């Protein structure tokens, strides 16, 4: 976990793309011509947000996300980190919160999740000598600008201490009011997030090895997970008549390499890449509670797969884009696993690519934001986010 910079990919709405930079700022680009929106930047002060790790979330015109650094816009050292949680109006580039961004001691590696006007995330503590490795936060995500002064409340609704550190992003089972989270101590943890709960109940199962990637919702109250021993398993989650969590664990599958990044789901198919370069298409059969390998493909390229894979459609085909950190993005046929092509990036790949409107958008390690044609794989646009100008 060397503190190198961005793993967070760009996100897009109907007309714009929002791009986090190594410099700790977010910039906005037009989708139609790829030009930067002049004057739009967050934050607008000299102090940056630090480094972006977890994915950002775009919800009803508000961009939620987090960065962390030393509190002065620089990367944190000696485990003295401050996380900055933001909620930005995408039109004005202003925070929707009166206090601006929320600052919390510690570091956020995973992303955040939004549910019913609350955002949830996990912050790793700077000092875990007290036995607390991290805290789960629930934060009021609503805008302050339509509220009267008396309606303003504490931004942090509650926080729950847990012993383990966390690198993954939580997910929410909204029907059962459960937060589900993978932990570095190997647990899959279930936390009650009912608004009327005074003491939040916790249940867990032990997978035996650290869980770094996020748990995946595969439908009908079923969730799958992977750990760094390459074990893939699933659980069925429910509440009994007393409101206590019921967890049924089913069908463990052994894969090659660490399961490090999140998977992509398409109906009953689950696609993932391990840290050693194996790409899998898994078949999830919920009625029979089984997981089977449909195909697997070993990719032998320079570097390691970074940030997971992107599932997309092109010319009536389903394809997978797999970024390798040293120099390229590989594309595969999602049905067969055969290699379709590659997009070379001489400065390396920084994060998972964003693919929309027949273009692939990707950040390289020199802070260049680039777009490529899916048709002939040619470079369309390149903008350097450090120098704030078109690439040389």
Q: Could you give all domains of the chain from N- to C-terminal order, each with its CATH number?
A: 1-167 (2.40.128.630), 183-273+283-292 (2.40.128), 299-392 (2.40.128.630)
| pTM greater than 0.85 (yes/no) | yes
Residue 99, pLDDT > 90, answer no
- What is residue 301's DSSP assignment? -
Per-residue pLDDT, averaged over 340-369, amounts to 93
Predicted local confidence at residue 71, as pLDDT: 73
Round to whole Å and give the CA distance between 322 and 172. 27
pLDDT, position 77: 64
- Report whether pLDDT(48) > 90: no
Share of the chain above pLDDT 70, in %: 97
DSSP state of 131: S
- pLDDT, tens only, 164-207: 999 999 999 998 999 999 999 999 999 999 877 778 889 999 99
Please report, for residues 344, 368, 390, the alpha-carbon distance to residue 387 in angstroms, rounded to integers and kept in the order given: 22, 10, 9
Predicted confidence band at 392 (pLDDT cuts at 50, 70, 90)? confident
The verdict on whether omega for the bond into residue 99 sits within 30 degrees of 0, i.e. cis, is no
- pLDDT, average across residues 318-328: 94
Residues 339 and 330: beta-carbon distance below 8 Å: yes
d(CA 54, CA 119): 13
Q: Please compute the mean of the pLDDT values over residues 18-45 and round it to a whole number.
A: 93
Of the candidates 110, 30, 96, the one whose C-alpha atom is nearest the C-alpha of residue 68 is 110
Q: Which of 236, 260, 381, 383 is nearest to 322 (CA)?
A: 260
Contact 247, 203 (CB under 8 A): yes
Distance, CA of 257 to CA of 273 (rounded, Å): 9
Distance CA 202, CA 344 (A): 46
**Mean pLDDT value of segment 80-84:** 89
What does DSSP assign to residue 56? P
- pLDDT confidence tier of residue 3, bands split at 50, 70 and 90: very low
Distance CA 256, CA 258 (A): 7
Q: Do residues 348 and 355 lie in contact, with contact meaning Cβ atoms separated by under 8 Å?
A: no
The angle formed by the CA atoms of residues 186, 190 and 194, to the nearest 5 degrees, is 160
- For position 1, what pLDDT does the model report? 40
DSSP labels for 228-281? TT-EEEEEEEEE-TTS-EEEEEEEEEE-SS---S--EEETTEEEEE-TTSEEEE
């Amino acid at each position: 976990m060397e503190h190198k910079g961005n793993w967070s990919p760009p996100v897009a709405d109907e007309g714009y793309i929002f791009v986090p930079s190594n410099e700790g700022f977010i910039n906005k680009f037009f989708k139609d011509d790829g030009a930067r929106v002049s004057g739009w930047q967050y934050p607008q002060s000299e102090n940056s947000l630090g480094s972006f790790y977890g994915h950002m979330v775009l919800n009803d015109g508000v961009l939620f996300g987090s960065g962390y650094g030393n509190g002065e816009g620089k990367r944190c050292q000696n485990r003295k980190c401050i996380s900055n949680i933001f909620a930005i109006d995408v039109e004005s580039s202003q925070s929707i919160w009166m206090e601006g961004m929320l600052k919390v001691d510690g570091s956020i590696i995973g992303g955040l999740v939004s549910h019913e006007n609350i955002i949830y995330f996990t912050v790793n503590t700077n000092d875990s000598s007290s036995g607390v490795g991290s805290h789960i936060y629930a934060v009021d995500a609503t805008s302050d600008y339509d509220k009267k002064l008396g309606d303003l409340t504490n931004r942090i609704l509650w926080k729950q201490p847990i012993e383990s550190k966390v690198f993954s992003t939580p997910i929410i089972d909204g029907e059962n009011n459960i937060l589900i989270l993978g932990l570095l101590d190997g647990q899959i943890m279930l936390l009650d997030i009912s608004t009327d709960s005074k003491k939040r109940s916790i249940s867990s199962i032990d997978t035996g090895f650290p869980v770094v990637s996020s748990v995946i919702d595969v439908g009908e109250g079923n969730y799958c997970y992977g750990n760094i021993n390459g074990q893939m398993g699933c659980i069925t989650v429910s509440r009994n008549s007393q409101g206590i969590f019921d967890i049924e664990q089913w069908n463990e599958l052994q894969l090659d390499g660490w399961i490090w990044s999140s998977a992509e789901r398409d109906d009953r198919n689950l696609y993932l890449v391990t840290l050693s370069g194996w790409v899998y298409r898994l078949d999830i059969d919920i009625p029979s509670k089984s997981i089977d390998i449909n195909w697997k493909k070993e990719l032998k390229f320079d570097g390691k797969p970074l940030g997971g894979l992107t599932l997309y459609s092109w010319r009536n085909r389903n394809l997978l884009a797999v970024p390798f950190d040293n120099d390229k993005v590989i594309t595969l046929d999602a049905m067969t696993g055969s290699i379709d092509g590659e997009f070379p990036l001489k400065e390396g790949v920084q994060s998972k690519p964003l693919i929309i409107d027949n273009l692939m958008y990707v950040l390289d390690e020199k802070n260049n934001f680039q777009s490529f044609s899916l048709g002939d794989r040619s470079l369309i646009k390149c903008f350097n986010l450090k120098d704030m100008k078109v690439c040389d």
